[in-house]
Amino acid sequence: MKEQTLVLIKPDGLKKSLTGNILTRLSETRLEIVASKIKRVSRELAEKHYCHMKNEPFFEDLIKYLQGELHDRKKVMAMVYWGEDAINKVRAICGKTNPEEAEATTIRGAYGRITTSGVYENVMHASANREEAEREIKLWFSPDEIIVDLFPTAIIKKENIKERVWV
């Protein structure tokens, strides 16, 4: 069955100019990219994304890392990959969380590092399971930013909403 997974190229991946390398590696999966954007990461978004880590001693550093404060790159590239067994296929190429334990042929094994302060700078994020993928995709993307219907939606009418438009 087709499923979806969130991929983030983290600020270290962008600073190291790895976007092309990472996308090329992920294209081995033959999955489809159904959404993509460059996004500035607010503290709120970073905290929500890593809510399961909030009791870790490195949480504060992790939030700064995702926000780009450690790399002078205040953005991440976010994508949704979609297709058969997408979560496992992407995680396999991504590699283990700890870049020193990740196999050298994986993206994290090839390009990640552990900083002296102990943060695992592992260049990309990939959802770990279906529940996490759904939560994360809904956090990073609105329905209209994804070109396929992944989850149920509703149309709501908003009055008095200010919106920035091109002039």
Among residues 118, 157, 161, 163, which is the contact residue for ligand IDP, using CB under 6 A?
Answer: 118
Q: How far apart are CA 143 and CA 152, in angstroms?
A: 9
> Which of these ranges, 38-46, 72-80, 121-129, 155-163, lies near ligand IDP under the rule CB under 6 A?
121-129
Q: Using CB under 6 A, which of 21, 23, 119, 135 touches ligand IDP?
A: 119
E-assigned strands of 10-161?
A: 32-39, 76-84, 113-114, 120-121, 124-126
Binds 49, which of Mg ion, ligand IDP, none (CB < 5 to 8 A, cut-off by type)?
A: none
**With binding defined as CB under 6 A, does residue 120 bind ligand IDP?**
yes
Going by their DSSP bridges, the two strands 113-114 and 76-84 should be labelled as unpaired
Each residue 115-154 as x (binds Mg ion by CB under 5 A) or -, in order, gives: -------------x--------------------------
Beta-carbon count within 10 A of 42 CB = 10
Check binding of 51 to ligand IDP (CB under 6 A).
no
Q: How far apart are CA 118 and CA 44, in angstroms?
A: 23
